[in-house]
Amino acid sequence: MRKGPSKLGDCPNFRSTKMGLSPSALLRSIAGLRKFGTFAGFLAIVVALSLLCPKFLTAANLANVVRQSSIHGIMAVGMTLVILTAGIDLSVGSVLALAGVIGAGLEHRDWPLAAVLAATLAVGGLAGLVNGLVVTKGRVTPFVVTLGTMSIARGLAHLLTGAQPISGFRPAFHFLGAGEILAVPVPILLFLASVAAAAVLLERTRLGRYLYAIGGNLQAARLSGIPVDRCTTAAYVLCGTAAAAGAIILTARLNAAESIAGTGYELDVIASVVIGGTSLSGGRGGVWGTLLGALLIGTINNGMNLLGISAYFQLVVKGAIIVVAAFLDRLQAGGRG
Amino acid sequence: MSRRSSVAKIVLLAVAVGLLLPGCSRGPAGHEGIVIGLSVPSLSHPFFVCIRKHVEDEARQLGVRVIATDAEDVSAKQMAIVEDFIAQGVDGVVLAPIGAEALTPAVEALNQAGIPVATVDRKVAGGDVLVHVGADNVEGGRIAARYIIEKLHGRGAVIELEGTPGASPAIDRKQGFEEVLAASGVKLLVSQTAEFYRAKGQSVMENLLQAHGDFQALYAANDEMMLGALEAMAAHGLPPGRVVTVGYDVIPDAARSIREGRLTASIEQFPGQQARQALRLLVAKIRDGKLPPSKEVYLTPVAIDRNNLDRAETKE
């Protein structure tokens, strides 16, 4: 059981308090894995793939899976914060493209690496700030706001580049996507670091607990004096920043930034969060589940390639897994009232 | 509240109309010369950006004006664009249709309005088109297969990266490639989609490299996927040139990779020549009533490698 809600004594209507089950210390430590359904599903897929394809369970391939999961994974970490507030951010794929081409442009202008990274992350944060402010101050549904910014960010990325790729970077930048530290690929380290940071944020800080409260019961959160607008905006800013972090990894890994990058990524990102057990209606879930969800999506993509499954069938499989995961989540939520 | 919002809506509408007006007054109605509408599936894709560049360049030489539009890969949107062309009274339309069936009504509407239309790249299923100028994607796939078979001396194994499932260039390039391959001693090891995206090409190839070590050639249905796959192979420790690699489209990044020896070859469809020729034939009809020599003109695709890189349409 996640720790967040139990600390929210000042929030009587908080839905999740009803589903509290006395948590053992072990379960606490692997908080996100409370979703045994997802975990069991993940294990089943891993076992099945190991049996079907002997190449699956090699160190090289597993590193491969995690590295590939790190881009949609890091974005999903940000998305988790937004979804916990009962929001959604459809613009992440486009924000990735916009931040990516701006970062790549600055990299080509030989800005210092730190400045390139800071500027890229700032583009994402700024996009998130716009989303957050329109959602909170403008009181527009997140779905509509981010559908709009999805188009705006994509358009800006095309405008800036004329839809032409920007490729070839300095070794230090390329390292962020293709390098290794102590034999661990850098994208994996960045992904795990973002998961850990978000876990600390959600479980140990006031902002984190507020995000659960806002998603659990907006009215109650407001009445109990939580700065709802500021906290919600912060979630969108972090989500945009995470999308920009995804852009850095993708651009560095691919050695190219393109205005069409990240098209359709919102599917993998939102799917990772939902499969990971964070409820789309907010207030329930956490980032450990998202880690699992992102790995599951990466494993499925990898497994289907290894098995040589046809293109058309891949679409069916991926869609079906998302629907089944959402349905299981619904059952679980329903069962607990 | 509701009154306030309706006032806001009216103001917004007025602003929007105001923004459009100057655009209209510069429109074709008050223009003396010939105006051509150009509709391509998407101006986000380098391929169609290239087509637009060539059409606009050719238009300058011919002394006609071009209105270029972006249909964002939505056929309904492209239909609406064509309807707008008719309303604006353009003299002719160059159309690269998103779907063969879906854009047939658009061509029929142009026929009714008496506006001649030339299609490039892809065809439409019905209606009366002045001329279609295109490249045969099936033939391009065959040429890629023949190139690989020749380089491998008729033996070995090849991995294929397909385009977006269901897209006609993806289907055709796969069909031609596999048809020629099946009749040879080169084996198709595995074929997977990377949806025409570079990032997807990289991750799919990373995965395939885990399962398939023994292959001598890689074919990708566009250069974007191939460039991603080249990154994956380099990271995997495969030295450039070890595997025969054939992409498609000869985009600038690919041309550079060919020169640097990272990419073996790419299939050139001469999209610029297609577009220029379509525009020339269209303008000849409008100006002089001259009909094109044939209803369908196909430019033969060519495999571009280090030896004939100067024939590539897009320079680095």
pLDDT band of residue A144 (cuts 50, 70, 90) is very high
Mean pLDDT of A308-330: 79
Contact B207 A259 (CB under 8 A): no
Tokens of B203: 């991750």
Query: How many angstroms away from the CA of A254 is the closest CA of chain B?
Result: 6
Contact A68 B206 (CB under 8 A): yes
User: Tokens 């390639």 sit at which residue?
Assistant: A305
Which of A169, A248, A260, A304 should we substitute to test contact with B (largest number of B Cβ atoms within 10 Å)? A260
Any CB–CB contact under 8 A between A305 and chain B? Answer: yes
- pLDDT value at residue B59: 95
Which CATH homologous superfamily contains domain A61-335?
A: ABC transporter involved in vitamin B12 uptake, BtuC (1.10.3470.10)
What is the DSSP code (8-state) at residue B295?
S
Partnered with residue B67 across adjacent β-strands are: B37
Residue ranges of A 211-240 with Cβ closer than 8 A to chain B: none
**Residues in chain B, pLDDT under 50:** 1, 21-31
Q: Which of A71-75, A288-292, A318-322, B217-221 has the lowest mean pLDDT?
A: A318-322
Residue-wise pLDDT for B166-202, tens only, equals 877 899 999 999 999 999 999 999 999 999 999 999 9
Contact A260 B227 (CB under 8 A): no
CATH topology of domain B34-129: Rossmann fold (3.40.50)
Contact B207 A305 (CB under 8 A): yes
Residue-wise pLDDT for A166-177, tens only, equals 988 999 999 999
- Concatenating the DSSP letter of every residue in B128-196 gives --SEEEEE-HHHHHHHHHHHHHHHTTT-EEEEEEE-STT-HHHHHHHHHHHHHHHTSSEEEEEEEE-TT
Residue A254 has its nearest CB partner, among B191, B199, B252, at B199
Residue A254 has its nearest CB partner, among B192, B204, B228, at B228
H-helix or E-strand containing B86? helix B75-88
Query: How many angstroms away from the CA of B127 is the closest CA of chain A?
Result: 31
Any CB–CB contact under 8 A between A205 and chain B? Answer: no
Interface of B to A at Cβ within 8 Å reads: 43-46, 49, 162, 165-166, 190-193, 197-199, 202-204, 206-208, 210-211, 224, 227-228, 231, 235, 252-253
Residue A61 has its nearest CB partner, among B162, B210, B253, at B210
- pLDDT value at residue A36: 65
- pLDDT value at residue B16: 56
Give A33 or B243, the one with higher predicted confidence.
B243
Q: Which residue of A has its CA nearest to B44?
A: A163
Give A106 or A306, the one with higher predicted confidence.
A106
H-helix or E-strand containing B304? strand B302-305
> CB of B176 within 8 A of CB of B138?
yes
Which of A159, A255, A263, A299 should we substitute to test contact with B (largest number of B Cβ atoms within 10 Å)? A255
Q: How many CB pairs under 8 A join A and B?
A: 81
Give A77 or A255, the one with higher predicted confidence.
A77
Contact A250 B199 (CB under 8 A): yes
Residues in chain B within 8 Å Cβ distance of A312: 165-166
- pLDDT value at residue A319: 83
H helices of chain A, where?
Answer: 25-29, 36-52, 59-84, 92-108, 113-136, 142-161, 171-178, 186-204, 206-216, 218-223, 228-254, 265-275, 287-307, 311-335
Mean pLDDT of A203-207: 95
- pLDDT value at residue A19: 40
**CATH number belonging to the domain at B137-269+306-311, selected among 3.40.50.2300, 3.40.50.1000, 3.40.50.970, 3.40.50.1580:** 3.40.50.2300
pLDDT band of residue A40 (cuts 50, 70, 90) is confident
Domain edges within chain B: 34-129, 137-269+306-311
Residue A163 has its nearest CB partner, among B46, B191, B199, at B46
List the one residue out of B115, B135, B152 whose CA is nearest residue B245.
B152
Mean pLDDT of A284-302: 92
Q: Which of A132-146, A214-228, B22-36 has the lowest mean pLDDT?
A: B22-36
Domain edges within chain A: 61-335
pLDDT tops 60 at residue A260: yes
- pLDDT value at residue B27: 43
